[in-house]
Amino acid sequence: MHKERIYRGIPASQGISIGRAYVYTRRQININTMALKDGEVEAEVEAINNSIEISLKELNKIHAISIEKIGEKNSKIFEAQIEILKDKIFLDGVIKRIKKEKKSAGFVFNDEIEKLAAIFQKSKNDYIKERYTDLIDVRNRVIRNMKREKLVSKVDENSIIFAHELTPADTILFSRRKVMGYATDTGGVTSHAAIISRALRVPAVVGMKTISKFVTSGDCVIVDGTEGVVIVNPVQETVQIYEEKIKSIKYHDELLFEIANKPCKTEDGKSVEITANIEFVEETEFIKNCGIGLYRTEHLYMEKGDFPSSAEQIQEYTAISAATYPKSVTIRTFDVGGDKILQDYRKEDNPYLGWRGIRISLDRVEMFKEQLKALLISSVKKNIKIMLPMISSVDEVRKARTILSEVKTGLDKEGISYDKKIPFGIMLEVPSAFVLSEELAEEADFFSIGTNDLIQYILAVDRGNELISGMFQQFHPAVIRALRKIIDGGHSKGIKVSLCGEMASVPLAVPVLIGLEVDELSVLPSVFSEIKQTIRAMRLSDAKALVAKILKMPTESEIRNEVEKFYELKIKPKIL
C-alpha cells in the first residue's frame, strides 16, 4: 500500500479528474557540435531545408486540429510558430552561418533560437518567460526532423498526464487520446498549455516544481484544477470525497442546462440578474446565454509584459462582445498594481494601498486613452459597459469622465462609430467609496461592489495572511452595514447596483444580498446554476425580513447563525 500524498501548485484549468497517471518524458535532443568536412556543407543545408518543410507540414496539421477543437483565436500560438519557420531573413542567416562556420545545421539553428529565447528568459514577466518554451518547441521539432526521428505523441487513453513541461502541440495532440487532466512541474496560468487546457475544459495544475519525479505511470491520482491540488495514491475516503465533488459539478452542469432559460426571479416575483466573472475569452464557452458582470483586462498586460496597443485590445474586446451578445459584458479597465507586478515596478511597503487600479490609469493618461479608445471602438454592438477599479473619490470619476469625453471627441473627428451612450460605472471596494456612495452615484452610471477588497479594507485583514485569515468575515456586521449603505446610495440616485466579489458566489450569502436588494450578482461560472436555483427558491419578503433582523446584530457569529438557520429552513428543502 502506498501512502496518500498531497501536492499543491497553480490552478490553471478548473475541474476535477480521478484516474491513472501517465508520466510523459520528452526525448532528449542531442546536437552535433563537430565541425563539418568540406563535402558535408551542402548536405547539411539540404537537411535543414527538408526539416523546415516537414516541420511546417506538422505544425499546419496541428494548427488545423487545434482550430477544430478550440477555435481560431486560441490556436494563434501555432501561427506564431509557423511564422518563425517561414521567416526568410532568420533562415537565410542560419544557412549563411552553416556555410561560413562549417558547423552542423542543428548547432547553428539551436544557437539562433537560443539568442531569441534568451531575450524572453530575461524578462521579469511570467507570460513572456513562458514563450521560451514555445521557441524551444520549434527548435526541438526542427532538429528531430533533421534526424528523421518520429514524433512521440501517443499516451494511454483516459489518463492524467504528468510532465516536466508540456508544449501547446503536446496538449492538442494528447487531447485526441481523451486525456483527463494535466499536472506539470513548470508553467503558469498564462502558458499556452494552460490556455489550451481551459479551452478544452480539461483540469490542469501547473508550476508544481518536481511533481513529475514523484509520480509513476499507473498511480491512482486526483487532479483538482480548481484548487490547484494533486493527490497521489489517495485513500478510499479521499476518493469518495472527490467523487462526490465530481457528482456535484456534473449536477450543477445539468441543472444549468435545465434552468438556463428559466427566469431568475424569487418566488414572489423579484427579478435578479446573474452574470459571470471571467478573465479569458475561452471561458465564455462554459456559460451560454449569460452576460458577463466582470471581465478582467489585466491578463492582457501580464501576457504582453506591458500595456497592450489599441489594436491588440480591440481584437480582445470585440471577441468578448461578440461571444456575449446580445447579453452585456462589463469590462474593467486595467487593475494592475497590488499583487500584479508592473514592468516598471518600484518596491512599495504596502502595494495594496499603493499605486494601483485607477490611480495608474489617471497617471498614465495616454495608456488610459488607448484602452478607452479600444473599448469605444469595440462597442458597436452596444453591449459593452466600462468599469473603473479602486475608486476612492469623486474627483477620480470626474477626471476619468473628462478623459472619456476627449477620446469620444477624437473618434467623432475621425468618423469612427461607437456606442454614444456606453455605460460608465465604478467599483466600490474601499471604505471612502461606501461613505461617499450617494455622491459617487451622481457621477456613475452603475455600481459594482468588489467585496474581496472591501472586506479586507473595512476589517483591516489580509486574507492571505494565515495568522489572521479567520478574521476575514463576509458576515461581519460592519460589512453588512456597508453593503446596505452602498446599495441604498446607488438606488437613491436611480442607478443599478451589482456585486462581483466572491461573496456573490456563496449560496449562504445570497439571501442576505437579495434582502439588501442588490440588482445583479456576478458569480464564478462553476456555481452559476446553484446561485440561480437559490434565488428561485426564496421569497424577497422573507429575505428582507432576514436583513432587517441581522442589521441589528452586533457580532459575526450571531449574524451567521441567523443566516444559516434561514437557509436551512427556507431554501435548502426546495433545492435538494
Given a contact cutoff of 8 angstroms between Cβ atoms, the answer to whether 434 and 428 are in contact is yes
Burial of 35 (0-12, 13-18, 19+ CB in 10 A): exposed
Strand partners, 497: 447
Q: Would residue 299 be called left, alpha or beta, if left means φ above 0 and alpha means ψ between -120 and 50 degrees? A: alpha
What distance in Å separates the CA atoms of residue 285 and residue 198, rounded to the nearest whole number?
10
The secondary structure of residue 337, as a DSSP letter, is B
Q: What is the DSSP string of 527-572?
A: GHHHHHHHHHTS-HHHHHHHHHHHTT--SHHHHHHHHHHHIIIIIH
Grid cell of 249 as nine digits: 459539478
CA angle 558, 245, 503 (to 5 degrees): 35
Instruction: Report residue 163: phi and psi, to 5°.
Output: -155, 160
Asked if 43 contacts 251 with a C-beta cutoff of 8 angstroms, the reply is: no
Angle between helices 528-536 and 236-259 (to 10 degrees): 60
Give the three cell numbers for residue 319: 471577441
Residue 195 · residue 280 · CB < 8 Å: yes
Q: Name the H helices within 337-476.
A: 358-363, 365-377, 394-414, 431-435, 437-441, 451-459
Report the length, in residues, of the chain.
576
| 3-state class percentages of the chain: helix first, strand second, coil last, to nearest 5 | 55, 15, 30
Q: Which amino acid is at 566?
A: F
Q: For residue 475, what is its C-alpha cell?
A: 458576515
d(CA 70, CA 509): 35
DSSP-derived pairing of the beta strands 204-206 and 220-224:
unpaired
The answer to whether the Cα torsion of 39, 42, 44, 50 is positive or negative is negative
The three three-digit cell numbers of residue 447, written as one number = 455600481
Preceding peptide of 326 cis, ω within 30°: yes
CA distance 91 to 510: 60
CB-based contact 9:207 (threshold 8 Å): yes
Residue 523 pairs with which residues in a beta bridge? 276
- The Cα angle at residue 536 between residues 535 and 540, in degrees rounded to 5: 65
557 phi and psi angles, rounded to 5 deg: -65, -40
User: What residues are annotated to the active site?
Assistant: 192, 500
CA nearest 404: which of 365, 442, 439?
365
Q: How crowded is the C-beta side of 118, counted as CA atoms within 13 Å?
A: 6
